[in-house]
Structure 1
Amino acid sequence: MTARVEDLLRKVAPQVLGVVVRRFGDFAAAEDAVQEALLAAALHWPVDGVPDNPRGWLVQAAVRRMTDQFRSDQARRRREDVAAALEPPPADVADRDDTLVLLFLCCHPALTSASAIALTLRAVAGLTTAEIANAFLVPEATMAQRISRAKQRVKASGVPFAMPVGDERAPRLRSVLHVLYLLFNEGYTSSIGHELHRGELSTEAIRLTRAVHAVLPDDGEVAGLLALMLLTDARRPARTAPDGSLISLEDQDRTLWDHERIVEGVALVTSALSKGLVGEYQLQAAIAAVHDDAAHASDTDWPEILGLYGLLERMTGNPMVALNRAVAVAMVHGPHLGLKLLDAVADRLEGHYRLDAVRAHLHEMAGDVASAITHYRAAAARTASTPERNYLVMRAARLGEG
């Protein structure tokens, strides 16, 4: 399959699924039918050529599959007359893009974050079950079961295929943004495996967040999340050495950063913050912008970052935010005060490798080499990411050599 066909199928897949779900009302069956239509297109289009109306072609193929399914299902014989009466839609399908509706459906609060991410990647991003399974290093059968359960749970919820309105909209939007945030983070720094980045995941997260922003341009948190992704992803070209090893933020060649993304991200977060109602994604984006504004690590405005982390911690109460704030405190007021703050949140992060990693870093700053080595090794033993483990082991080894 050519790259052009693959890109086209990925772009129109959620639109086609939206049409079929809206027509038949059965998300699980419609998703299966659309996947078969996409497979048929992947086989035929590179040989026969892309049709003039690719979306209409796919809708017709999926509807035929749904019709055949209804006809062959003995438990649904009563629907045969209705199915037989269904005519394939005209080639000129109504120009209605249901991608955002589909995204809200896949990110239903009834689903766990893991299930919502998997379902979003399958139904909205157009990844195959095998690709998703590979991204999360689980067997394809396991991922297929996860996606199947997610589809059934969405079906059982009885939620209509429509954008949420009224009191439902805010919590559903929060769920969507949370899923996209987790999806991006897993792509930018994979929690497992041999690769630091899973570019297909972070790229899809940015694409889908752009789609949400296009529909909700005045929502500050949507703009903040998109800005956060762009400002963070801008550093990706400098995060790894040619051999794939991790390069810390302070040691990165900042001339390699994507400055177009930085400019776009700064403009987004600046506009969002000017509207008055500040949310956690806007604050995270503002912190990322301060880092990206520094031409050299030594130019970083740590007092401003510390102030922003203080606001973010009060807003969220998230222990990971407290962990990052401890680093900022150490950079402004010294490592000993940062270590005291770590002690205050240690019970909430017990066993997490990042607690040991930050402790190691602050002990290294304080000149306590033995404690730094101990915590670097403890962090390395607890992470499932090979690049991060190698980085932590290397830091401990270098201190030991000194």
Structure 2
Amino acid sequence: MSASQMIANRHTFFGRGSLRELLPLLSADPQPTLLFCGRSFLAGDAWAALENDLTPLLVGHEIVSHEASPVEIDAWVDRWRGRAQRVVAIGGGSVLDAAKAFAALSQHPLNTLRYLEKVGDTAVTGATLPLIAIPTTAGTGSEVTQNAVVTDKTDNKVKASLRHPAFVPQVAILDPDLLRGAPDHVLACCAIDAFTHLFEAYLSAKGNLFTRQMALNGMRSFITAWPRLNSDDEAGDIAREQMMMASWLGGLSLSMAGLGVIHGIAGELGAIKDYHHGEVCGRLLLPFLEISGKSDHPQQQALMSDLANTLFPAFTLPPARLLAEWLKENAIVPFWQTPQTLTQAEVSWILARSNSKNALVTYSEEQQRAMLEAAYDIV
């Protein structure tokens, strides 16, 4: 078994109200700073409180409304190369990934597609602008990962990453109060993405004691948070804090141990459909648990038993079934019940490209098809 390596933020601020650390950080080292954010942030209370003091410290801002495409990243680089010397990203995973991609490619001479995994022909270097990452959702863990996800749904139909250890943001500010007021569907779908990162990293063939203990810690936080994410009280505040921790630990876990078949399918599906990535993972997780419950792989069985003992002491149901039922019974919104479709052609396209990634078990095309057919209406 190979050694695991953890590469994390140089500085991580955690806790309710920690967004207040942003202004002193920028003021202590004045330099031209570009903000990446979503429209919802600019319409919210946090921006209203920051705007007067933050605006003089910025050279401008870019709005990110979806997973960034190579064309969009190239346009940002053309507009801001040489003008921006630092980047601040405040938003969900798509915002953070877009900012990470811009920060890196503004320091590279070629266009995005030349460096992109799966389709590129040139390796990235570690050159990147300093980046402060501030998540407003708890799901992707992008604030602590080495990769920036880029999606091209037009010419190349690919969802892939720009990846280098130097792309981990230097600073992360994890303020659970930024989750307040998010729609229930967003909270739930982002959270199940965080859980899937933790769960797949826990079951990864690349895992070891270090990575699995980290993933278990994250799953403990998730279990505490999952039923109360939208509560407008002290229990909700605690839940959002725990989920922010789970998401960050999920980013660390996936960076060290990798992911499994759920993301092996979800990444390809995301190249052709606009479905929320977290919801895709959550929909696939439930049939995966049914399939894995029938597995006779001894290490996976042992890990699932250890997981159940840790998260659900004195459990009586089989671990995979117990986990699936608990997730459904305690969800703040049953996202998996809303009908979503895939065509037969789309299923075939996905299966021609999907894989089991770092899973302990190699899942056959028939098993992957069964997951898709259980998760989606096939037309």
User: Which TM-score band (shorter chain)?
Assistant: 0.3 to 0.5
Q: Indicate the structure (1 or 2) with the bigger Cα radius of gyration.
A: 1
TM-score normalised by length of structure 1: 0.34
Structure number with the higher strand fraction is: 2
Structure number with the higher helix fraction is: 1
